[in-house]
Amino acid sequence: MIEIMIIPRRRNRDSAASELVLWHNLPANTRGMLLMAIFAGVVSLGHVIARDLSQDFHPMQAAFFRTIVPLVILTPILMRQGPGWWRTTRPGLQFFRGLVGGISMLTWFYALALIPVGDATALSFTVVIFASVGAVVVLGERMGARRWTAIAVGIVGTLIILRPGADGLSVGALVVLISSLFWAAALLTVKVLARTDSSITIVFYSSIYFTILAGIPAGYYWRTPDPEQLALFVSVGLLATVAQLAMTGALKIAETTAIMPMDFTRLLWAAGLGYIWFGEFPDLWTWTGGAIVFASTIYITYRENRATKMDQGGRPSNESPH
């Protein structure tokens, strides 16, 4: 009996080892693209669940679980990093990053309750455009004519999605743009913080401030969920954690220009899941505008990555990645 039980375990271990070897034998950019595809699918599923919950609960409750679950999971891991991992030389800037990032997250979850996930996802690609302009205005970086042209093209794509007319813009679309603007501010703040603080420290403080900021409105609008609803709320946080780890892993092992095209699959996932869950599907204008915006962000990312490599090679450059 003992031998019969041990053999399958050995086979399972051998199989797992073989799969791990196969994974590591893949080119780094291929692994990064696969991880980015996982990120896109997982994060889109979380957004669809959050939109579903917003039919019975205030969206701030979903935002709160989105923050508290990763904090509970990641804090023990962060504490193993050794003494001093939580110390920061820029507490004020850490607070500002948590504030603008938290506002971005809260407005995003509020927008999910107002417009289809596919439409919100298409507009969220504007983050790179806002961050690029912010880097010039706030950080004093220089940007060439090609990237300014790409930004102009991205703005045209945004207008195609919004289709402003006599009826005006939808509130949900405007809220997504506000969320993207604040997230761009958070990215620029991280860029400054990264000069002095570790990524672990930045993640920790952001999680703390996000949770506090989401907890205040969530407490005001709180409704006690039943066990099934509670499981859905927790899944929003779990999916966010998996998505964050997948994206971090992708950025760590692969070139940014290789994995960024996979981010467009967020729109594919959002459209498919939105149709299955709610019968919602982006119209042709949203697909067209989303593709234009995304193409412009890909080009901006490519130019920034190229400028960074030139700078690292010893050639003078005032351009750096966001």
pLDDT tens per residue, range 158-215: 999 988 764 667 899 999 999 999 999 999 999 899 888 888 888 889 989 999 999 9
- The predicted model gives 40-46 an average pLDDT of 96
**Cα 101 vs. chain centroid, distance in angstroms?**
11
3-state secondary structure of 200: helix
pLDDT at 85: 77
The set of residues, in sequence order, having a beta carbon less than 8 Å from that of 39 and lying 6+ positions away, is: 243, 246, 247, 250
pLDDT tens readout for residues 235-286: 999 999 999 889 888 888 888 777 888 888 999 999 999 999 999 999 999 9
Whether 303 and 144 have beta carbons less than 8 Å apart is answered as yes
Q: Which of 122-131, 157-166, 305-314 has the highest mean pLDDT?
A: 122-131
C-alpha torsion sign, points 206, 209, 211, 217? negative
- The predicted model gives 43-64 an average pLDDT of 96
pLDDT band of 30, cuts 50, 70, 90:
confident
For 223, the token pair is 């409704």
pLDDT tens readout for residues 102-126: 999 999 999 999 999 999 999 999 9
pLDDT at 17: 58
**Alpha helix stretches (DSSP H) within 223-316:** 227-253, 256-259, 265-278, 284-312
The 10 Å Cβ neighbour count of residue 225 is 17
Torsion of CA 169, 171, 173, 179, to 10 degrees: 130
| Helix, strand, coil share (%) of the chain residues, nearest 5 | 80, 0, 20
Q: Where exactly are the structural domains of the chain?
A: 29-312
Whether 150 and 296 have beta carbons less than 8 Å apart is answered as yes
Whether 301 and 260 have beta carbons less than 8 Å apart is answered as yes
pLDDT at 202: 87
pTM for the model: 0.85
Whether 116 and 282 have beta carbons less than 8 Å apart is answered as yes
Burial of 163 from C-beta contacts in 10 A (0-12 / 13-18 / 19+): middle
Distance CA 285, CA 257 (A): 26
Whether 233 and 63 have beta carbons less than 8 Å apart is answered as no
Burial of 19 from C-beta contacts in 10 A (0-12 / 13-18 / 19+): exposed
Whether 40 and 262 have beta carbons less than 8 Å apart is answered as yes
Distance CA 155, CA 123 (A): 11
